[in-house]
């Protein structure tokens, strides 16, 4: 999930003091959690289908489909910075979350009612980017307000919140491809929109439970200025998003501009900080770049791995003790949240055991282990070619590969925000949080270019064997890249130990 931006400290304590009793807190949390589950249901339904829709439904070449989805992924990481600010300053977290839900529903329903018209694709995706940007930071911020000042409860709440994300995404990635297969693309997108409408109906029935957290901008009356300013900002952002999605050169220019801005601002902060602050910033910067590299691999799940499943994976999966399962290409993506839910408790338990024994592993070493696991995952995907029959790889290789890359996600992306909290001085944390999201979004856009290394010539694959060779070669190169990243991570460990503040070094 996309975490929220940090909120102004002055707004939060007064919200917590109005929520008296665990029952009131649970009711307020349930309202946010249920709409979050439906929001993730809709978004991951789109995520699972979109590349396939562009290739199969609209006749796009792989290259255009991969880069369009990569550009949307970058926007989804960039716009929450604007959405969080709009929630803080203008609309309030509750109104901004609600507005994001409405905008998302409009985007999904535009896809559903477009009749497969390519002209509706880019406006619909721009609405998705704006909707996610409004929803994600403000929904998570409401959870923080509900349990502010209660560290144990807020940890538990965000654990459940993250589980809700994975439940919503898993159900969606299993259900929407089946709906699309039986009733068509419009019906699948309609289901995504219907999920948002159910979330809105739930909010309408239970929204009074959130009244105690109406502080700051939430408590202010929605004056014309408070409404018109966000509308203008979001309208301009939507127009820019449509242009960036439609034109690859403009999207790349935006990515390069953001990258240059992050580097420039980071350089200025390094010069302004004292010696210890510069050490902390350098440490966090190196680790954030490593997380960014992981997102290049992560982006393959919705691009090259999905197209690989379409063209070269046997859809029939036989697991011990279970009947044979027939998986559609998009449904393989559901393996990621399923593995996340299975592996998260085991990893948390192992961290606790390590801390009680010889001590927890340093975050740098966890990153190195994460890249080892990622290298193993793409080695499994590539090795599937050796076991292929008539150009089709056994589905078990996808299960194993997704399990490994999901573990890598927990070791790398799951610890990404901890880097900012652990190493960055408080006065620089806002910028470094933004830098984290910017680097992640840039990397996901670059992941689309990487996926295109396996692009077949023209709009069609010459043969199943040709595509098998192209994809397994790409996965092999990605495995080697992950091993190279492992070597870099291990080489940096002594340097990171010297740079890290004493409290963070291990």
This prediction has a pTM of 0.87
Tell me the average pLDDT across 327-337.
Answer: 95
Domains by residue range for the chain, with CATH: 1-246 (1.20.1250.20), 290-415+440-495 (1.20.1250.20)
Residue 506, pLDDT > 50, answer: no
Mean pLDDT value across residues 53-82: 91
* Digit-coded pLDDT (tens) for 357-416: 666 677 788 889 999 999 999 999 999 999 999 999 999 999 999 999 999 998 888 677
- For the segment 488-492, the average pLDDT, to the nearest whole number, is 91
Name the CA radius of gyration of the chain, rounded.
22
How far apart CA 330 and CA 312 sit, in angstroms, is 13
Sign of the CA dihedral 194, 233, 428, 153?
A: negative
Question: Span 113-138, mean pLDDT?
Answer: 91
Q: What span, in angstroms and rounded, lies between the C-alpha atoms of 221 and 176?
A: 39
Is pLDDT above 80 for 152?
no
Give the up-direction half-sphere exposure of residue 340: CA atoms within 13 A in the CB hemisphere.
23
Do 404 and 377 contact (CB within 8 A), yes or no?
yes
Using alpha carbons, list the distances in angstroms from residue 26 to 20, 152, 212, 216.
11, 14, 13, 22
How much of the chain exceeds pLDDT 90, in percent? Answer: 45
Reading phi first (left if > 0) and then psi (alpha if -120 to 50, else beta), residue 391 is in left
Check residue 313 and give its pLDDT.
Answer: 96
Report whether 437 contacts 416 (CB < 8 A).
Answer: no
> What is the rounded CA–CA span in Å between residue 87 and residue 426?
22
Model pLDDT for residues 121-132, shown as the tens digit of each residue: 999 999 999 999
Q: Is the confidence at residue 11, as pLDDT, over 60? A: no
- On average, the pLDDT of the chain sits at 85
Q: Which two tokens stand for residue 477?
A: 């190169």
Yes or no: say if 205 and 47 are a contact pair by the CB < 8 Å rule: no
Q: What is the pLDDT of residue 160?
A: 80
pLDDT per residue as tens digits for the range 221-237: 778 888 898 889 999 99
pLDDT at position 49: 95
pLDDT at 218: 72
Name the DSSP class of 56: I
Are 69 and 444 spatial neighbours (Cβ–Cβ below 8 Å)?
Answer: no
**φ and ψ at 21, to 5 degrees?**
95, 145
- DSSP letters, 218-285, are GTS---HHHHHHHHHHHHHHHHHHHHHHH-HHHHHHHHHHHHHHHHHHHHHHHHHS-HHHHHHHHHHH
Cα separations (Å) of 382 from 19, 67, 388, 458? 53, 23, 11, 23
Nearest to 497 by CA among 361, 403, 400, 389: 361
- pLDDT for position 6: 37
């Amino acid at each position: 999930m996309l975490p929220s931006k940090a909120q102004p400290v002055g707004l939060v304590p007064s919200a917590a003091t109005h929520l008296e009793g665990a029952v009131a807190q649970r009711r307020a949390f349930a309202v946010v959690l249920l709409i979050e589950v439906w929001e993730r249901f809709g978004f991951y339904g789109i995520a699972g289908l979109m590349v396939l829709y562009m290739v199969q439904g609209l006749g796009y070449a792989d290259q255009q489909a991969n880069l369009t989805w990569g550009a949307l992924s970058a926007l989804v990481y960039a716009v929450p910075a604007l959405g969080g600010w709009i929630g803080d300053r203008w609309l309030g977290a509750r109104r901004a979350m609600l507005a994001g839900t409405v905008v998302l529903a409009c985007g999904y329903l535009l896809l559903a009612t477009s009749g497969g018209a390519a002209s509706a694709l880019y406006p619909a995706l721009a609405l998705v980017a704006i909707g996610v940007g409004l929803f994600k930071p403000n929904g998570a911020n409401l959870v923080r307000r509900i349990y502010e000042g209660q560290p144990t409860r807020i940890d538990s709440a965000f654990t459940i919140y993250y589980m809700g994300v994975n439940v919503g995404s898993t159900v969606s990635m299993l259900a929407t491809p089946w709906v699309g297969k039986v009733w068509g693309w419009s019906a699948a997108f309609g289901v995504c929109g219907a999920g948002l409408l159910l979330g809105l109906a739930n909010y309408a029935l239970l929204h009074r439970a959130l009244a105690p957290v109406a502080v700051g901008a939430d408590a202010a009356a929605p004056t014309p200025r408070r409404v018109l300013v966000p509308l203008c900002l979001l309208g301009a952002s939507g127009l820019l998003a449509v242009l960036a999605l439609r034109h690859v050169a403009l999207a790349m220019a935006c990515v390069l501009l953001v990258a240059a801005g992050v580097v420039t601002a980071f350089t200025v902060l390094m010069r302004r900080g004292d010696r210890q602050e510069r050490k902390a910033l350098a440490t966090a910067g190196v680790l954030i770049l490593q997380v960014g590299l992981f997102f290049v691999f992560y982006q393959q799940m919705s691009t090259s791995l999905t197209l690989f499943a379409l063209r070269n994976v046997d859809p029939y999966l036989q697991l011990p003790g279970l009947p044979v399962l027939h998986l559609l290409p998009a449904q393989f993506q559901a393996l990621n949240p399923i593995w996340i839910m299975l592996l998260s408790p085991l990893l948390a338990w192992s961290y606790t055991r390590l801390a009680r024994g010889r001590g927890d592993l340093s975050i740098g070493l966890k990153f190195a282990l994460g890249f080892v696991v990622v290298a193993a995952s793409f080695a499994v995907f590539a090795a599937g070619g050796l076991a292929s029959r008539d150009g089709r790889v056994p589905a078990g290789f996808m299960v194993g590969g997704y399990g490994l890359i999901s573990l890598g996600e927990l070791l790398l992306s799951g610890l990404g925000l901890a880097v900012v909290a652990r190493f960055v001085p408080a006065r620089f944390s806002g910028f470094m949080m933004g830098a984290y999201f910017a680097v992640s979004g840039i990397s996901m856009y670059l992941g689309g270019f990487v996926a295109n290394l396996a692009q077949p010539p023209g709009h069609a694959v010459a043969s199943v064997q040709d595509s098998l060779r192209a994809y397994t070669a790409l996965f092999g190169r990605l495995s080697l890249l992950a091993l190279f990243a492992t070597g870099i991570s291990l080489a940096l460990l002594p340097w990171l130990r010297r740079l890290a503040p004493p409290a963070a070094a291990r």
